[in-house]
Amino acid sequence: MRIDLNGTPIEVAAANLADALVALGYGGALATALNGGFIPAAARATTPLHDGDRVEVLAPMQGAEMQLYDVAGPLSQWLHRGLSEAGQPVVLMETRQVKGALKAMPIKTDRRDAEGIERLLHLGWFRPVHCKSVSAQEVRAVLSARKAVQQGFITLEMSLRGLLRNFGLKVGTISRGRFEQRIRELAAGNPMLEAATEPMLSARSALRRELAGLERHVRQLAQKDPVCRQLMSMPGISAVVALTYRSAVDDPARFTSSKKVGPWVGLTPSRNQSGERDISGGITKAGDVNLRRALRQAATVMMHPGRATWLRAWAAKIARQRGVKRAMVALARRIAVILHHMWKDDTDFRFDIPVLHAGASCRLKIRFPDCCPPNRGPSRSPRDAVPVMPCSGLMPIVSSTPMRWADRNCIEPASCWRPQR
């Protein structure tokens, strides 16, 4: 009988699959499939073979290694590390892609899920997922603990405000240092309110101390890491954002191009095209939600008034043309791309290479005086620093009133620029 074994034609004298495995010298743990369908070990003896059947066998044989696959989940990193240390090649599969492929099955069972995953592997229709290093997982654990404590702290404060609001007592806008004193002032004279608020205030004080300790630990981790110090050279990138980016990307070499970081984070617009219909929707929101949130926070900080940079000027131009929300998303995506460039090229953020928009010939040129180098903030507001925008059709408004450094050297305030005639 002639069968196709793992893509290779072979002659075998066997009536069923179990006899064929014995004749071919297979033993131990095996994974078998016949004509694309998974065959469990208990059914091999009752599975007949016919001439021309396709048989797939996954097992260590003649120096070949058994491929192990796992769908990315809560224990995937731990399983991947343990199996890799045992000398087994392991591939992680993207959960969302596997889930979308298995939705076509009307009945869901563990057996059918295993058969569906086996078909995906047989067709090669899967996307490998990067397994993060142990150090990256440890940093993410610290960041997750900080986020959990911070959320608990905020939840307690909001619960205290809501509790007192039921009695017509308004806390109002107050600093965190005076929050506890304000709550006690409002609850004074009411034994029931004092009994209800004191345990919550004690828990809030404990969470505040733990949060301060975690904040110090996060800053220390960022200062000790040369990559994080490099990423923090960009304005708006704090220790939390740098650590989040570093632990999420883990290995910059896994991206062949820095432009691929934006779609990986999920900051690119989705698209639904069919025939004459072509709809561009919101962002895909694929990838790490914590990294996406950190990049949005960095973009928000960068857009606030402060030191002028070419990146902030580029985002301000997008905001005037497309709106603030789209500018924020575009700026967050570009921050992710630039951070990968900085990490891969081992360079700090450069303030003197501004590119205003996609046009290759359009650049924002700023002439700095000798007393004010471009990579450092000025000690005072120089009056001879003149921004020039040759391709934008805008020129600075000459005014006799003194202007701040940020207003004189960035294009963000619309009142500082008028169309060039």
Q: Is 283 in the same domain as 336?
A: yes
Residues 37 and 86 in one domain: no
Type of residue numbered 84 = S
> Could you tell me what percent of the chain has a pLDDT over 70?
79
Asked whether residue 36 is assigned to any structural domain, the reply reads: yes
Distance CA 228, CA 230 (A): 5
Q: Is residue 405 part of a domain?
A: no
Q: Which residues contact 361 (CB under 8 A, 6 or more apart)?
A: 391
* 186 has a pLDDT exceeding 50: yes
pLDDT of residue 336: 96
- The verdict on 250 and 341 lying in the same domain is yes
In a domain, 402, yes or no: no
Q: Which amino acid is at 408?
A: R
| Boundary-marking domain end, from 326, 345, 364 | 345
Q: How many domains does the chain have?
A: 4
- Residue 395 located in a structural domain: no
> In this structure, is residue 43 part of a structural domain?
yes
Range of the domain at 297: 239-345
What does the pLDDT read at residue 1?
A: 79
pLDDT digits (tens, 9 = 90+) for 91-119: 888 888 888 888 888 888 888 888 888 88
Domain check: are 341 and 244 in the same one? yes
Is the pLDDT reported for residue 56 higher than 70? yes
End of a domain among 294, 328, 345?
Answer: 345
Does 86 map to a domain?
A: yes
148 and 217 inside one domain: yes
- Rounded (5°) CA angle 103-70-65: 130
**Is 48 in the same domain as 74?**
no
- Looking at the domain assignment, is residue 389 inside a domain? no
- Clarify whether residues 106 and 78 are in a common domain: yes
| 15 lies in the same domain as 74 | no
Of 314, 345, 376, which residue constitutes the final position of a domain?
Answer: 345
Mind giving me the DSSP string for 36-85?
TEEE-GGGSTT-B--TT-EEEEES-BTTB---EEEE-STTHHHHHHHHHH
Q: What is the pLDDT of residue 399?
A: 37
Do 103 and 142 fall into the same domain?
no
pTM score of the predicted model: 0.68
